[in-house]
Every structure is written in structure tokens, then in C-alpha cells.
Amino acid sequence: MKNKPKGIGLGIAFGAALGTVLGVLAGHVAIWLAIGVAIGIAIGGTLRRTACAHCEAAKRNQELEASSQKLEA
């Protein structure tokens, strides 16, 4: 659970940096900063989901092992 805030936080930081660079280049910092933060939140959510999917896979493997042990008994 500790990875959730890190993923979203890193996504926001990278999105803000990217938005700032694009905003300076395009001349519309406020718009590009907001777009960058939104993209960063989406990327952070994806990183969080990936970590949880790994946890879910491990949980399913444990459940399958437990059920196979019940079948053997």
C-alpha cells in the first residue's frame, strides 16, 4: 500500500515537469502545466494498478496452492 502515493506522486512530478517544458516552448504555461499534471495522474494510476495486479497474482497463486492441497488431502 505504500507504493500508491509514490506512484501517483511521481506521475504528478513528471507530468508537471513535462507540462512546464511544453508550456515554456509553446508560450502557454498554465494550460500545459494542467495537461501535464492530468497526464501524470493517469500515469501514476497506471503504475499503482500494475503494482496491485502483481499483488493480486501472488494472492491467486496462494489460493490455488491452498485449494490443491485440500484436493490432495
Quote the Cα angle for 65-50-9, to 5°: 140
Residue 3: predicted pLDDT: 46
Digit-coded pLDDT (tens) for 8-34: 888 889 999 999 999 999 999 999 999
By CB atoms closer than 10 A (0-12, 13-18, 19+), residue 3 is middle
Residue 31: predicted pLDDT: 93
Q: Which residue has the higher pLDDT, 2 or 24?
A: 24
Is there a contact between 15 and 47 (Cβ–Cβ < 8 Å)? no
Place of cell 504555461: 29
Whether the per-residue pLDDT at 2 is higher than 90: the answer is no
Q: Residue 10 belongs to what domain range?
A: 3-72
Residues comprising the chain, all counted: 73
| Number of domains composing the chain | 1
> The pTM is what?
0.59
Digit-coded pLDDT (tens) for 45-73: 777 665 566 677 777 888 888 777 766 66
